[in-house]
Amino acid sequence: MTFGLACCAIEMMATAMARFDIDRFGAGIFRATPRQSDLMIVAGTVTKKMAPTVVTLYEQMPSPKWVIALGNCAISGGPFVFEGQYNLVEGVDLLIPVDVYVPGCPPRPEGLLEGLMKIEEKITGKRRFPVPDKRW
């Protein structure tokens, strides 16, 4: 389910382009409805005004469901968190449970693909594309 809130959503859209090709993982069709989704990618800054909507959409998703927090703003509030700020949620994990965190400002499309592989590994217990051996 697409939930692009800020500039991280542009990187999420870039993951669907030909250079990175998210379709090879079977995740190429971003759904706009929670009833057809089992994965929510929260990309960007979550404000306190948007927080109830995020929670409502998460609750409408059928079980089992997973969440990826994409970008520093979704993970910890990003560079906008400072003393006296009043409108930002300092991490989407304060609202809904997060399974995988993809850091970066902005996060690279390769990071989102790695996050998808981590979700797949969490579900199936094995990795589709094993990490290559570091010994050369």
Contact between 103 and 114 (Cβ < 8 Å): no
In whole angstroms, how large is the CA radius of gyration of the chain? Answer: 15
Average pLDDT across the chain, whole number: 85
- 60, part of any domain: yes
Q: What is the distance between the alpha carbons of residues 25 and 49, in angstroms, rounded to a whole number?
A: 33
pLDDT tens string 48-70: 999 999 999 999 999 999 999 99
5 contacts 46 by C-beta, under 8 angstroms: yes
Domains contained in the chain, number: 1
pLDDT over 60 at 102, yes or no? yes
Confidence (pLDDT) at 23? 80
The answer to whether 43 touches 3, Cβ cutoff 8 Å, is yes
Question: Per the domain annotation, does 134 fall within a domain?
Answer: no
CATH number, domain with residue 19:
3.40.50.12280
Please report the pLDDT score of residue 17 as a whole number.
82
| Span 104-131, average pLDDT | 85
- Mean pLDDT for the stretch of residues 3-7: 78
Residue linked to tokens 């960007």: 44
Instruction: Please indicate, yes or no, if residue 131 is contained in any of the structural domains.
Output: no
> Is residue 25 included in any domain, yes or no?
yes
**Domain-embedded: residue 22:** yes
| pLDDT score at 66 | 93
Q: What is the pLDDT of residue 99?
A: 94
**Angle at alpha carbon of residue 1, lines to 111 and 53, rounded to 5°:** 110
Contact yes or no for 62/36 (Cβ under 8 A): no
The whole domain housing 22 covers: 2-124
